[in-house]
């Protein structure tokens, strides 16, 4: 699998988390690990974001045309929570990505930017 350098950011109404990581690219998916050991996979074909670590497994699917349901598995409790997701904007160009969305009543902006070498 080819590797590319990316910049990621996740911003909500309270904070913004930025990172620069090496990611693996496999067809329509990009995979990387955050500093806190969270594995992140974004599927560009299905518009699905997966975040997995020791505590949770989160799966969000984005669709501009309709509200979707995100799933968050809290591993310690073995309990799955469901949240409503409203996709406001979804931009993709090559592996660059920007999604503006709302989970319940909180606004988010998630970005992946390919870093030029």
Is residue 40 pLDDT above 70, yes or no? yes
pLDDT in tens, 92-116: 998 999 999 999 999 999 999 998 7
Q: Rounded to an integer, what distance in angstroms lies between the CA atom of residue 72 and that of residue 78? A: 10
Q: Rounded to an integer, what distance in angstroms lies between the CA atom of residue 113 and that of residue 20? A: 9
pLDDT in tens, 45-73: 999 999 999 999 999 999 998 999 999 99
Q: How far is CA 68 from CA 33, 88, 107, 111, in A?
A: 25, 12, 15, 19
CATH code of 40's domain: 2.40.128.20
CB-based contacts of 32: which residues, under 8 Å, 6+ apart? 6, 8, 21, 22, 23, 24, 39, 40
Q: Number of structural domains, the chain?
A: 1
Is residue 81 pLDDT above 90, yes or no? yes
* pLDDT score recorded for residue 39: 97
Q: Burial of 40 by CB count in 10 Å (0-12 exposed, 13-18 middle, 19+ buried)?
A: buried
Is residue 117 pLDDT above 70, yes or no? no
pLDDT in tens, 86-95: 999 999 998 9
- Percent of the chain surpassing pLDDT 70: 99
Average pLDDT of every residue of the chain: 94
In this prediction the pTM is 0.92
- Residue 90, domain extent: 3-114
Is residue 33 pLDDT above 80, yes or no? yes
């Amino acid at each position: 699998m080819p590797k590319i350098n990316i910049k990621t950011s996740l911003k909500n109404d309270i904070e913004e988390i930025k990172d620069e990581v090496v990611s693996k690219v496999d067809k329509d998916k990009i995979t990387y690990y955050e500093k806190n050991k969270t594995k992140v996979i974004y599927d560009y074909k299905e518009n699905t974001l997966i975040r997995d670590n020791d505590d949770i497994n989160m799966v969000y699917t984005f669709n501009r045309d309709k509200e979707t349901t995100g799933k968050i598995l809290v591993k310690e409790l073995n309990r799955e929570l469901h949240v409503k997701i409203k996709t406001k904007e979804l931009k993709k160009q090559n592996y660059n990505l920007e999604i503006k969305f709302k989970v319940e009543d909180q606004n988010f902006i998630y970005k992946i930017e390919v870093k030029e070498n």
